[in-house]
Amino acid sequence: MTLLCVTCDPGVPGVRPCTVRGEHRDGCESDSCGGCMPREARIGCLCQVCWLRYEQAWSTWALLEPYLDRFDRLSPRETVGGRTTPTGYVPLPQTTLAADEVRSWLTGAPDDARAWVSTLDGAAKAVQFSFAVQRAARAHQIQEQNTRLHRMHCPACARLLLVRIPPAAFLDDVTVKCTHCGWTQNDPSKIDEIAAIEAMPWKEKTA
Ligand SMILES: [Zn+2]
Ligand SMILES: [Zn+2]
Ligand SMILES: [Zn+2]
């Protein structure tokens, strides 16, 4: 008996079973079926498609994870009159939630990727990981809007009118721009310095 992709047998919650386009099981009579033949497992318990998606997810994640962490430091907090809300509750940006979900699928995963997908349980988690990375990359792009900076004054005109402009696409640079005089900065190391200024507690600033 051939081993099928874990998405077909036993299946992965929320994930469509992998099928071969244009090929059908015996007895398939649906005219609208684009292909219902389950894909065979090729690498561990994953089919070729799932394995490639998984490898792609790792390389995306290697770039996305540090990037999301940096984004998080310059993202707006829910504030009331310059303070966090009285309960101390700080809503998490969607990107943080998405990144946490990705990390949750990696819990307990061995370093050896092939070893991980050689078990049904590991392969199912690897599939979930792959899709979670895709969602995190998308959430990042949907989430971001221009945000006003609250600490840093424009180096050119000294007005408190800087905005952070998110990257147009994943891995593009963040830009900080003055809405008054047009001064712009998009050097990543300078953006990190601006992020550090924005992250300073209010007390230190006024002391
Ligand atoms: Zn079919
Ligand atoms: Zn598959
Ligand atoms: Zn300015």
List residues, by chain if needed, whose CB lies under 5 Å from ion ligand 3.
154, 156-157, 178, 180-181, 183
Q: What is the pLDDT of residues 158-191, one digit of tens each?
A: 999 999 888 776 677 889 999 999 999 999 889 8
Predicted confidence (pLDDT) at residue 199 exceeds the cutoff of 70: yes
Q: Using omega within 30 degrees of 0 as the cis cutoff, is the peptide bond preceding 10 cis?
A: yes
- E strands, 60-188, are 79-80, 83-84, 147-148, 162-165, 175-178, 184-185
Q: Which ligand is nearest to the CA of 53?
A: 2
Q: Where in the sequence is the domain holding 70, given as residue range(s)?
A: 46-143
Identify the domain boundary among 120, 143, 166: 143
CA of 112 relative to ligand 2 center, distance in Å = 19
| Closest ligand relative to 176 C-alpha | 3
pLDDT of 70: 65
Residues 122 and 176 in one domain: no
162 C-alpha to ligand 3 centroid (Å): 7
**Is the residue at 202 inside a domain?**
yes
Shared domain for 84 and 155, answered yes or no, is no
Q: Are residues 131 and 154 in the same domain?
A: no
User: How far is the C-alpha of 139 from the C-alpha of 5, rounded, in Å?
Assistant: 28
Cα 40–Cα 43–Cα 45 angle in degrees, nearest 5: 65
Is the pLDDT at 78 greater than 80? The verdict is no
Q: 192 and 125 share a domain?
A: no
Shared domain for 96 and 74, answered yes or no, is yes
Q: Is 115 in the same domain as 174? A: no
160 with 195, same domain? yes
In a domain, 13, yes or no: no
Q: Is 20 within a domain?
A: no
Find the Cα–Cα–Cα–Cα dihedral 150, 152, 154, 159, rounded to 10°: 50
Higher pLDDT, 135 or 82: 135
Task: Please indicate, yes or no, if residue 12 is contained in any of the structural domains.
Answer: no
Q: For residue 81, how far is its CA from the centre of ligand 2 (angstroms)?
A: 51
Question: Dihedrals φ, ψ of 177, to 5°?
Answer: -135, 145
In-domain check, residue 101: yes
| Residue 6 lies inside a defined structural domain of this protein | no
* Residue 7 within any structural domain of the chain: no
Residues 111-158 pLDDT 10s: 898 999 999 999 999 999 999 998 888 777 666 678 889 899 999 999
**pLDDT of 76 higher than 90:** no
Say whether both 138 and 50 belong to one domain.
yes
Structural domains in the chain (count): 2
Confidence category of residue 40, pLDDT binned at 50, 70, 90:
very high
My answer on whether 130 and 55 are in the same domain is yes
37 assigned to some structural domain: no
Question: Can you tell me the distance from the alpha carbon of 106 to that of 127, in angstroms, rounded to the nearest whole number?
Answer: 11
